[in-house]
């Protein structure tokens, strides 16, 4: 089966893998600094990520852009976790892909 690279679906317009990495790294760093109230954390994370992206990569995104991207990445992560929750599926670190038998894929994709 000829499966296109996921970058075709993930990166359109101004978003590139390096920016997503910075966004996720910022979230991880902030989460480790102190116990945050969920709404406080989200707002601070978005603003901090915007500033880091602009300072490091030179691209300027608005709060709505970063919030939308963050929501998109959350959805992708939740889908990934649901797929891996099926018995007989696993993450292949070398290929960076989810592995499952044909029968399991039919179940997952229903």
What is the model's pLDDT at position 67? 92
Please report whether residue 3 resides in a domain.
no
Q: Answer yes or no: pTM beyond 0.95.
A: no
* Cα angle value 27/11/16 (rounded, 5°): 55
Please report whether residue 8 resides in a domain.
no
Distances (CA, A) of 80 to 39, 86, 89, 96: 24, 11, 11, 12
In a structure prediction context, what are the per-residue pLDDT tens digits for the chain, which is 110 residues long? 566 666 667 777 788 888 999 999 998 998 888 887 877 888 888 999 999 999 999 999 999 999 999 998 899 899 999 999 999 899 999 988 899 988 888 888 87
> For residues 70 and 46, is the Cβ–Cβ distance under 8 A?
yes
Please report whether residue 5 resides in a domain.
no
Domain that holds residue 32: 14-108
Q: How many domains does the chain have?
A: 1
């Amino acid at each position: 089966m000829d499966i296109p690279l996921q970058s075709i679906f993930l990166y359109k317009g101004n978003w590139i893998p390096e920016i997503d990495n910075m966004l996720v790294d910022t979230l991880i760093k902030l989460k480790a600094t102190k116990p945050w109230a969920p709404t406080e954390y989200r707002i601070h994370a978005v603003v901090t990520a915007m500033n880091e992206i602009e300072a490091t990569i030179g691209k300027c995104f608005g709060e709505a852009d970063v919030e939308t991207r963050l929501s998109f990445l959350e959805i992708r992560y939740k889908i990934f976790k649901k797929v891996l929750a099926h018995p007989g599926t696993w993450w292949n670190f070398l290929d960076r892909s989810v592995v499952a038998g044909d029968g399991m894929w039919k179940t997952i994709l229903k």
